[in-house]
Chains A and B, each alone.
Chain A
């Protein structure tokens, strides 16, 4: 049986074209790769190469014909020795009509109609619901120790490196210098240069190198001296680390932690002062954590290192030196994706995370003196976001203010506001209030920088606005 040669589509959008020239004539022998015709689209003239071998036995569409629909038979090839071959028909697909082309003639063997195409059009399946775990119960008589966030982060890494030989830390100045912010202090001495790796100043390269190592099953902790520099590496964080599990159909996970200080420090100017929580929180395939307290920093960093997924762990230089009470337990691992009620209250909910919590906490103390009892929720994890805890609180208070240092547009507060609207609209007694960094690059001058950042007074003003007590 002769094989039909079909009018090919030369791009996903092409529906028809002009058969401008026949390069082969009837009776010509044709080999794989031979150019048999030229086709003109609105964009270009393309050559049609033969896939099948044999003799061009018939030309069905004359040279110069315009508007030839894709998948129309344009010629026939009689295969060489086709009767002699006992195996599968060499080219059943060649005679098939493509499912996507409405103009495809009904002939030959028809490919299976994709069985789910109707369902896809009529309704997107719902996203599966996930239930975050609760914090582990601590022993009733647990002892607390005073610890800085810096020490908590270092202990978390050291404990996990002792536990799992696949965990290593790499980054600029993490080893011999003991960390630009001393987060990796002592790690080189304990674990050696094989597992505490000083890199050149080469964020794009070492982030990619870390992801490649993670693909092969190691568990890298990639320290960025600050997350501002991670913009050089963001392609690997998003395109390589976050998306590969999906693109591989679940074959290739990427157990990696990207960590380092994020957000404004003090007087370091626009390029070194930015909060990336909202940026990374947009990306499916990433987990994004921004802890406030030392206990959360420790418990969540340990969880991040153990997590089989890529985790962006956003720290803050100003918090590094602050002290908190950390429970003295052997293995403090906290659940990623679970918010923490930092202060119970009944009049208003303040939702914050990371250094934003410092404003929230001080504001709540002052508000207490004004007889406004604020509940504070520390998100801890930005993605996946524990919106249920926020909604539960809003159902009680009816009023919400979000606090973050990041830019306002498409910020974390914007997302929280939408989620509350969608999930607790009927419980709201006032529009959601939002306190953010100002919509300007960070200025250097001390007075301007202060103005660009959120402050306690702004949080109080926002609370007064949503409680109509201004």
Chain B
């Protein structure tokens, strides 16, 4: 018997709409001019990078799986503003290009990994889903849905073991949030008061399955309730809301109170992967999110309204970003494939 979930409409279309506010929310602290412009530039880099990756995939330069982050940029950019780069750890699943760029990893190295070239972060041996940077404390890039949650909990365990106040930002999607090991990890994290911020990026669809078709409890901020882990639902399309909630969560962890769950209500504009025609949602739903809630347009509107930058100045930022992306694409297109000897390296230390 097929049961249509009663909350289909709310979860399917308007949940984030209800939360997403383009006007100022009294609970959300305003950004300074510098913060706004940084957020704008960082989000734009991810947007343009991903558009270029999509194009290069279409040209056959990128193979296999390619999961684009377009639409979700405010989540990683806002969270990154809450942590210390190169000190606090970041780990995520397979939709990971945005996280790497937000962590400060070089666009050239990321794009060259996508094209499987020797200058890629993993020398071309990892691909879209498997890049890492010890320097930036970015721990992947994991292709098994939910695996990064236990791994990220281990990063938090190591922080506590070493008696530091470092925090592990462990990202997962709404799909991963139904995996068993997520709850095994929640249990241990709260039991041992591990400094882990679990960020559930609810983009409403686990591949083609909407949240309400896959989840008995669609309020992901409550997924830690039985363990006593506090959680918050956040408008993940508003970078200011992300940062405000992120700061509360990171502070909670740094002060030794254990893990924190943030449900980021966000939206992915593109299909799950490049070959997904996205028949499971209406075009209207997508275009409404893009026109009314776009994370980058929100910042742009505020910046212009406050006179913090002119159209031309924003265009200059766009040009700079495009130049970075074009350079990355150029490098990734012309760099050599890995030497054949690399077949046998990096198997054991």
Q: Footprint of B on A, CB under 8 Å?
A: 6-12, 32-33, 43-46, 48-49, 51, 70-71, 85, 87-94, 96-101, 111-112, 114-117, 119-120, 124-125, 127-128, 168, 194, 199-200, 202, 204-218, 235-236, 239-240, 244-253, 284-285, 287, 308-309
Q: Which residues of B contact A236 (CB under 8 A)?
A: 147, 150-151
Q: Which residues of B contact A43 (CB under 8 A)?
A: 275, 277
Instruction: State the Cβ distance, B155 to closest chain A Cβ, in Å.
Output: 5
Are B338 and A44 in contact, with the CB atoms below 8 A?
A: no
CA distance A114 to B124 in the complex (A): 12
Q: A115-B337, A202-B184 are in contact. List 4 more A-B contacts (CB 8 A).
A: A93-B59, A209-B153, A248-B140, A251-B122
Instruction: Given A93-B56, A116-B339, check contact A208 B151 (CB 8 Å).
Output: yes
CA distance A97 to B59 in the complex (A): 7
Q: Which residues of A contact B257 (CB under 8 A)?
A: none
Asked whether any CB of chain A lies closer than 8 Å to the CB of B6, the reply is no
Asked whether any CB of chain A lies closer than 8 Å to the CB of B52, the reply is yes
Q: Of B70, B89, B333, which contacts A112 at CB under 8 A?
A: B333
Instruction: Given A215-B139, A235-B144, check contact A208 B185 (CB 8 Å).
Output: yes
Instruction: Given A33-B269, A208-B181, check contact A239 B58 (CB 8 Å).
Output: no
Are A89 and B326 in contact, with the CB atoms below 8 A?
A: yes
Q: For chain A, what secondary structure do more than half of its interface residues adopt (helix, strand, loop), or is it mixed?
A: loop
Q: Which residues of B contact A245 (CB under 8 A)?
A: 346-349
CA distance A368 to B58 in the complex (A): 71
- Using CB atoms, name the residue of chain A closest to B180: A204
Are B290 and A33 in contact, with the CB atoms below 8 A?
A: yes
Closest 9 CB pairs of A and B: A212-B154, A208-B150, A8-B58, A205-B184, A98-B60, A249-B123, A212-B151, A44-B277, A114-B337
Instruction: State the Cβ distance, B185 to closest chain A Cβ, in Å.
Output: 5
Q: Which residues of B contact A97 (CB under 8 A)?
A: 59
CA distance A212 to B148 in the complex (A): 8
Q: Which residues of A contact B133 (CB under 8 A)?
A: 251
Q: Footprint of A on B, CB under 8 Å?
A: 47-48, 51-52, 54-61, 63-64, 70, 89, 91, 120-127, 130-134, 139-144, 147, 149-159, 161-162, 180-181, 184-185, 187-188, 191, 269, 274-275, 277, 279, 290, 319, 322-323, 326-327, 329-330, 333-341, 343-349
Instruction: Given A11-B275, A92-B330, A247-B130, check contact A127 B344 (CB 8 Å).
Output: yes
Q: Which residues of B contact A92 (CB under 8 A)?
A: 326, 329-330, 333
CA distance A10 to B270 in the complex (A): 13
Are A91 and B277 in contact, with the CB atoms below 8 A?
A: no
Q: Which residues of A contact B181 (CB under 8 A)?
A: 204-205, 208
Instruction: State the Cβ distance, B131 to closest chain A Cβ, in Å.
Output: 7
Q: Which residues of B contact A206 (CB under 8 A)?
A: 150, 184, 188
Instruction: State the Cβ distance, B289 to closest chain A Cβ, in Å.
Output: 12
Q: Which residues of B contact A10 (CB under 8 A)?
A: 58, 274-275
Are B153 and A32 in contact, with the CB atoms below 8 A?
A: no
Q: Which residues of A contact B130 (CB under 8 A)?
A: 244, 247-248
Are A208 and B326 in contact, with the CB atoms below 8 A?
A: no
Are B187 and A202 in contact, with the CB atoms below 8 A?
A: yes
CA distance A112 to B116 in the complex (A): 13
Are B51 and A117 in contact, with the CB atoms below 8 A?
A: no
Residue of B55, B124, B141, B279 with highest tally of chain A CB at under 10 A = B55
CA distance A12 to B275 in the complex (A): 9
Q: Of B55, B153, B349, which contacts A212 at CB under 8 A?
A: B153
Q: Which residues of A contact B347 (CB under 8 A)?
A: 245-246, 284-285
Instruction: State the Cβ distance, A325 to closest chain B Cβ, in Å.
Output: 32
CA distance A216 to B151 in the complex (A): 10
Are A98 and B339 in contact, with the CB atoms below 8 A?
A: no
Are B336 and A208 in contact, with the CB atoms below 8 A?
A: no
Are A252 and B326 in contact, with the CB atoms below 8 A?
A: no
Q: Which residues of B contact A88 (CB under 8 A)?
A: 323, 326-327, 330
Are A212 and B59 in contact, with the CB atoms below 8 A?
A: no
Instruction: Given A209-B150, A209-B154, check contact A168 B319 (CB 8 Å).
Output: no
Are A128 and B344 in contact, with the CB atoms below 8 A?
A: yes
17 CB-based A-B contacts, threshold 8 Å: A12-B64, A90-B322, A92-B330, A99-B61, A100-B61, A111-B334, A112-B335, A125-B340, A125-B343, A200-B191, A204-B180, A208-B154, A211-B154, A214-B154, A248-B140, A249-B346, A308-B349
Q: Which residues of A contact B275 (CB under 8 A)?
A: 10-11, 43-44, 46
Instruction: State the Cβ distance, A254 to closest chain B Cβ, in Å.
Output: 9
- Using CB atoms, name the residue of chain A closest to B111: A93
Are B336 and A99 in contact, with the CB atoms below 8 A?
A: no
Are B132 and A252 in contact, with the CB atoms below 8 A?
A: yes
Instruction: State the Cβ distance, B346 to closest chain A Cβ, in Å.
Output: 4
CA distance A208 to B194 in the complex (A): 15
